[in-house]
Structure 1
Amino acid sequence: MLPTLSEKELNRLEDLLISYGNEYSVINLAELNGFFTALASSPVKVTPEHWLPAVAGGKVPKFKKPAHEEAYTALMLRYASQVAEELADDLDRFQPLLEESETEEGTVIVLEEWCFGYMRGTQVTQWPTLPREQDALLKAISLHGLEDNVELLDTMSAADRQACVPQLLEAIRALYRYHHRPMH
């Protein structure tokens, strides 16, 4: 078991995501947390060789310094492991890393980045078609995590979007359980 990333290490990882990011890459820790949650929840296991390029938007970045590459890879592997362990150890208390934003109405939870990461993870692991019940759960995530739904989200009030948070938590846990149920 690898040690949990410290605040400093998480900040370093986010700095590396930003420094080496592009318009197709994972942009922050919330999106990365969603991505790793989907990988850990997937019925299909993929190796870091397969998912590392996906985080970077298609191919692993060209690092300016070997130390950057080592830190990037080591922190990514540890964070992927950490998210998987959090889900496996205490699913009912698992909390996705969601961003918060200050608005005129007060603090709101931002779902989009996390959900975009999760949907990217389902694509990388090529999730099979889900039964209706599980597909409905995935739609609670994809509502906030697919480019196609941006216009629909724009028509929703801030209160309606915040009401999606408990549905998101339920969907994360139920999809994880569905893919990790004992096979008979």
Structure 2
Amino acid sequence: MNLDPESDEPLTDEEFDVLERFLSSNAVCDDAMDVVMLHGFLTAVISGPNMVMPSAILPWVWDARHATRQPRFLSAGRARKMSGLIIQYWNDINNTLNHCPDLFEPPRRTTEWKGEEVLTLDEWCKGYCKGIDIDREAWEPLLERHPEWFNVILLFGTASGYHELEQRDYTVEQRRSFAILLTAAALNIHQFWCEERRELMEQGERPNMIAAVSRPKDRTGKHTGRSELDAQDENGSEDLFLVDSLGRTPEDAFHPLALSPLSTCITRESTSVDVHIYRAGNDSCDGWILEIIDLLGTSTVWDDPFPTDGAALAEALNTIKAHGIASVTGGLPEHVTKH
């Protein structure tokens, strides 16, 4: 078994800097998420009503506007490294929300407001809105039931909300209180959907799984690459891709992921996990990736690809047989004591 031992650990400062630099480099298009927007996006995806696979979220990370422009990497290993850091970031947020919610808070970035320092919430809220929009229909019942939980998110995360911010003369104290309200809202939303999923499982059902990119629709029913909560921007941006020191564009591009038909659900000892087997959609020679996701959304990814999807499935079954299903489910982080 060659599990990635670091995928369930928080990003180190160095890893966070690597991811931050990559997402702000010319390896990705101008509309790629930064690490703050990514945190908000992943928080919504983790907290939402359905299970969302990496193949459905990565295109939005690389291109938050259209989910069509992919980055170029200098090697397949580099692609796996960056995707792995995002999965690690995902697991860190997931573990915090599920096991130590008192420690949860959006990344702290500040700006000056009326001569004083306040937290910047815009990018995080935009990311959260994008996480809602990729599964908008499933989110609608909660948006209607508890609109107060979304007030701050929509205020900072949408064009109409930001227009209201500019029109209203909020005090510094009010702006600072928004950060507290935002954290409380994110935790309330997460708890709500967790309880909904538990009720489904008690009834013998499972949340839906989103395995492919689903683009939001505008009010006419047409698909659009942007959040329907946001204003339409007619100004396109040019793709910028990473080149080597000689100015050559590398051929290794990140492609959308193809899900194997052998992907399945495994239940042992009253515990179920989803086994996802996928590879680059261009029939890449890099092989098949094995990922196992538990009901809390914790992801376990094998370091090395497999030559066939059958070999990946066999590895999953052998691992669970040899080490028990608990070996591929999320537990409390090492720094948290179980009470």
Same fold by TM-score, threshold 0.5 exceeded? yes
Choose 56-65 or 112-121, whichever is displaced more: 56-65
Which one of the candidate residues 77, 86, 93 is aligned to 1:83? 93
- Partner Cα separation in structure 2 for residue 80 and residue 70 of structure 1: 15
- Partner Cα separation in structure 1 for residue 135 and residue 85 of structure 2: 21
Instruction: State the SS of the aligned residue for 1:43.
Output: coil
In structure 1, the residue matched to 2:156 is 144
- Partner Cα separation in structure 1 for residue 108 and residue 115 of structure 2: 18
Q: Does 2:36 align with 1:30?
A: yes
Structure-to-structure mapping, 1:1-184, within 5 angstroms: 2-19=8-25, 20-26=27-33, 28-57=34-63, 58-59=67-68, 61-66=70-75, 67-102=77-112, 105-126=115-136, 127-131=138-142, 132-156=144-168, 157=170, 159=172, 160-181=174-195, 182-183=198-199
Bigger RCO (CA 8 Å, 6+ sep) = 1
- 2:132/2:139 contact within 8 Å kept: no
How far has the Cα of 1:104 moved from its partner? 5.5
- Partner Cα separation in structure 2 for residue 118 and residue 38 of structure 1: 5
**What are the superposed Cα offsets for residues 109-138 of structure 1, whole Å, 9 maximum, x if unpaired?**
001111011111111233431344422212
How far has the Cα of 1:151 moved from its partner? 1.3
Larger strand percent: 2
Residues 103 and 129 of structure 1: CA distance in aligned 2, closer, same or farther (over 3 Å): closer
Q: Which amino acid aligns with 1:121?
A: G
Instruction: State the SS of the aligned residue for 1:50.
Output: helix
Identity of matched residues, %: 22
Q: Which amino acid aligns with 2:52?
A: V
**What are the superposed Cα offsets for residues 69-127 of structure 1, whole Å, 9 maximum, x if unpaired?**
22211111111111111101112331121311245623210011110111111112334
- 2:28/2:71 contact within 8 Å kept: no
- 1:42/1:179 contact within 8 Å kept: yes
- 1:115/1:144 contact within 8 Å kept: yes
- 2:105/2:183 contact within 8 Å kept: yes
Residues 103 and 134 of structure 1: CA distance in aligned 2, closer, same or farther (over 3 Å): closer
How far has the Cα of 1:147 moved from its partner? 1.9
Residues 74 and 48 of structure 1: CA distance in aligned 2, closer, same or farther (over 3 Å): same
**What are the superposed Cα offsets for residues 53-78 of structure 1, whole Å, 9 maximum, x if unpaired?**
01111136232411432221111111
- 1:13/1:75 contact within 8 Å kept: yes
Larger helix percent: 1
Q: Which amino acid aligns with 1:100?
A: T
Structure 1 residue runs without a partner (length 5+): none
- 1:31/1:116 contact within 8 Å kept: yes
- Partner Cα separation in structure 2 for residue 60 and residue 80 of structure 1: 22
How far has the Cα of 1:144 moved from its partner? 0.7
- Partner Cα separation in structure 1 for residue 35 and residue 13 of structure 2: 12
- 1:34/1:118 contact within 8 Å kept: yes
What RMSD in Å do the two structures reach over aligned CA positions? Answer: 2.0
- Partner Cα separation in structure 1 for residue 157 and residue 59 of structure 2: 20
- 1:52/1:60 contact within 8 Å kept: no
Structure 2 residue runs without a partner (length 5+): 1-6, 203-339
